[in-house]
Amino acid sequence: KQEVTQIPAALSVPEGENLVLNCSFTDSAIYNLQWFRQDPGKGLTSLLLIQSSQREQTSGRLNASLDKSSGRSTLYIAASQPGDSATYLCAVRLNSGYALNFGKGTSLLVTP
């Protein structure tokens, strides 16, 4: 069974800092990896999708990398803002099915 771990579980940074969120997974036979954002009491917003053949994806201030062989992905957030405060979830889809296997998330607080 695919295990997805996110470190740290919580993070507090002052506005303007660059930060890195980490995601690791145990089964490298993945189809793709997706990063989501979840605001309190809300659904999930898709941030970035990385296919297994890709090494990174960028969207605005966000950059996600994927190292399939080592079972790791990172989400880099540049010049953080208070509006970035949310829980960030990493999810992996295996080659063998459609289910997304989620980590427990990193709760990010960006203080003004």
Q: Does 34 bind other proteins (CB under 8 A)?
A: yes
**Single residue of 26, 31, 109, 111 touching other proteins by CB under 8 A:** 31
Q: Does 37 bind other proteins (CB under 8 A)?
A: no
**Single residue of 75, 100, 108, 110 touching other proteins by CB under 8 A:** 100
**Sole window of 12-20, 29-37, 60-68, 73-81 interacting with other proteins (rule: CB under 8 A):** 29-37
Rg of the chain (C-alpha set): 13
